[in-house]
Chain A
C-alpha cells in the first residue's frame, strides 16, 4: 500500500517508537517474569527511571518507606504494575501532544487512551484475558491519529461536514477524504515499529474486530473499552460520538449489555485514579 506508507513517511514529527513496551511485554509473558530484566530495560532510559520511581513513591501506593532505587520499587509493586506505570508514562510521551487536525487539545488524546487502557484491563480481568497485552493494545489504539492529524488539518472542515449529518462516522469520513483511516494507519505504524502481530491486528481492526482474526478477541477488548471510555465522557474533539458501535465485539467476548453496565461501574471507579495520574505532575 504505497500511498499509505508514504503518508507515514511524510510525518517527520512522529515520536520515537515505544519499543520498550514490546520488550517489557515479552519479559512479562515468560513463566517467571524476571524482575532484574524489567529493571534493566527501564534503566536504559534515566528520565523514565526517575519518573517510574516517583510514581512508585507517590501517595497512591501508600508505602511507608520510600523506595530508593528501581529494583526495590519493582519488588514492592510487582512487575505487572510496573509495566502499567511504564506504559502510562511512555504512552503520555507518545500521545500527549495536541492534535489540531482532530480538534484535540494537549493531553486529551492521551487521557482518552489512558481511560481506554484501564477499561480494557478491567474487562480482561473479569473475563480472564491477558491484562498487560490488552492494556497495551488499548493504550495504543488511536496512535494512527498522530499520523493523520498533520494530514487532516487542512481537510478538517470537510470531515466535520461529513460527520455533521450523522451519516458518517469519523473513521468513514477519514477514509472518504484522506483515503485512509486511523485504525489501519495505527496498525501499519506499529508494524513498521516491529510490534508483535497481535497488537498490530488489534489496533488495525479496533473498529471492526472480526477482521482481526486470529486476534479478534484482543481487538474486541479494545473496541469495547473504546466505547466504555466514550460513554464515560472520555472521547475527545468534535463530534466525539461519530463512532460506530459494533455488537460483534460483545459476541466475540460473550458478554451482554448488562455486563457492559457492570464494566462501566468498575471503570467509572478507576477513572479518578487515571485522571490524577495523567495530570502533568508525576
Chain B
C-alpha cells in the first residue's frame, strides 16, 4: 500500500508533550502542546490568534535565585526565568505581546499548608506578579485546590483543554476560534 500523502495526513494532530521545567512554542497549526500531572507546578499557555502562535510552559518553582546554575541551563523550571523565555520564543514567531491570550492551570495546594509546602500558591503569585509588571492580564485560570491537572493547547484553534486527574471529562479553559 503506498504511503499516505501529506494532504491525507493533514487531519492528524501532532502532540508535543512538555515535561516539568520545560516549554515549547510553535506556529505549526497541526500541533497540540500538552503537559501532564501538574500538581503544584503551573502551566502557562499563551496564544496569539492572529499569528496563530502558541506556547506552553510547565514551571515548577517561583524563584530562580535558589539555583542560578540550574536556571541558566533550564530556565523553564522557574517562573522568573521561564516566563521571559516563553514570551521571547513567541516573539521570534511574530506573536504580539498584547494580543496573546494567557491561561494558567495547576498550582494545587495541600490542606493546611501553613506556608510550609505552599509552592502552588507561590507559583501562581509569582506568575501573576510578573505578568502584571508587564501590563499583561490573564484570560482564564484553573488553579489551586486539591486536584492535579493536565493541559493541552490546540495551536490550530487556540483552544485550551484541561483534564483533572481521576476524572473522565475534559473541560475547556479557553475557547478556540
User: B40 contacts the other chain (Cβ, under 8 Å)?
Assistant: yes
User: A149 contacts the other chain (Cβ, under 8 Å)?
Assistant: no
Contact stretch, chosen from A36-44, A174-182, A196-204, A228-236: A228-236
**Cross-chain contact A264 with B119 (CB below 8 angstroms):** yes
**Cross-chain contact A231 with B116 (CB below 8 angstroms):** no
**Cross-chain contact A241 with B66 (CB below 8 angstroms):** no
**Cross-chain contact A231 with B40 (CB below 8 angstroms):** yes
User: B21 contacts the other chain (Cβ, under 8 Å)?
Assistant: yes
**Cross-chain contact A261 with B39 (CB below 8 angstroms):** no
Give the distance in Å from the alpha carbon of A163 to the alpha carbon of B146 in the complex.
9
A240 and B112 in contact, given A233-B36, A262-B67, A268-B60 (Cβ under 8 angstroms): no
User: A103 contacts the other chain (Cβ, under 8 Å)?
Assistant: yes
Nearest-neighbor residue (CB-CB) of A260 within chain B: B117
Closest chain B CB from A103 CB (angstroms): 5
Closest chain A CB from B20 CB (angstroms): 5
Query: Which B residues lie within 8 Å of A103 (CB)?
Result: 166
Q: Which of B17-68 contact A (CB under 8 A)?
A: 19-21, 36-41, 60-61, 66-67
A238 and B67 in contact, given A233-B39, A247-B114 (Cβ under 8 angstroms): no
Give the distance in Å from the alpha carbon of A264 to the alpha carbon of B147 in the complex.
19
Closest chain A CB from B12 CB (angstroms): 24
Query: Which B residues lie within 8 Å of A232 (CB)?
Result: 20, 37, 39-41, 60
A240 and B166 in contact, given A232-B39, A233-B38 (Cβ under 8 angstroms): yes
**Cross-chain contact A230 with B116 (CB below 8 angstroms):** no
**Cross-chain contact A261 with B112 (CB below 8 angstroms):** no
Closest chain B CB from A203 CB (angstroms): 20
Give the distance in Å from the alpha carbon of A236 to the alpha carbon of B40 in the complex.
13
User: B109 contacts the other chain (Cβ, under 8 Å)?
Assistant: yes
User: A194 contacts the other chain (Cβ, under 8 Å)?
Assistant: no
Closest chain B CB from A242 CB (angstroms): 5
**Cross-chain contact B165 with A237 (CB below 8 angstroms):** yes
Please count how many residues in chain B sit with their CB below 8 Å of the partner chain's CB atoms.
Answer: 34
Give the distance in Å from the alpha carbon of A159 to the alpha carbon of B146 in the complex.
14
**Cross-chain contact B148 with A240 (CB below 8 angstroms):** yes
**Cross-chain contact B39 with A235 (CB below 8 angstroms):** yes
**Cross-chain contact B116 with A241 (CB below 8 angstroms):** no
Give the distance in Å from the alpha carbon of A230 to the alpha carbon of B111 in the complex.
12
**Cross-chain contact A245 with B166 (CB below 8 angstroms):** no
Chain B 110-125 against A: per-residue CB contact (8 Å), 1 yes, 0 no?
1111111101100000
Q: Which of B53-105 contact A (CB under 8 A)?
A: 60-61, 66-67, 70, 77
Q: Which of B123-156 contact A (CB under 8 A)?
A: 145-148
Query: Which A residues lie within 8 Å of B110 (CB)?
Result: 227, 230, 241, 243-245
Give the distance in Å from the alpha carbon of A260 to the alpha carbon of B61 in the complex.
11
A242 and B111 in contact, given A231-B119, A233-B20, A262-B67 (Cβ under 8 angstroms): yes
User: A250 contacts the other chain (Cβ, under 8 Å)?
Assistant: yes
Q: Which of B60, B70, B77, B166 has the most chain A CB atoms closer than 10 A to its own CB? A: B166
Query: Which B residues lie within 8 Å of A81 (CB)?
Result: none
Q: Kindly identify which residue among A236, A257, A262, A265 contacts B166, using a CB–CB cutoff of 8 Å.
A: A236
Query: Which A residues lie within 8 Å of B108 (CB)?
Result: 230, 240-241
Give the distance in Å from the alpha carbon of A261 to the alpha carbon of B40 in the complex.
12
Closest chain A CB from B162 CB (angstroms): 14
Closest chain B CB from A160 CB (angstroms): 10
Q: A232-B41, A233-B36, A268-B77 are in contact. List 8 more A-B contacts (CB 8 A).
A: A230-B40, A230-B108, A233-B20, A245-B114, A245-B117, A247-B116, A264-B61, A272-B19
* 8 contacting pairs across A/B (C-beta < 8 A): A166-B111, A231-B41, A236-B166, A243-B110, A244-B111, A265-B66, A265-B70, A268-B20
List 10 tightest A-B contacts by C-beta distance, closest first.
Answer: A233-B37, A233-B39, A241-B146, A238-B166, A245-B110, A231-B40, A245-B117, A103-B166, A240-B148, A247-B116
Which residues of B line the A interface, CB within 8 A? 19-21, 36-41, 60-61, 66-67, 70, 77, 108-117, 119-120, 145-148, 165-167
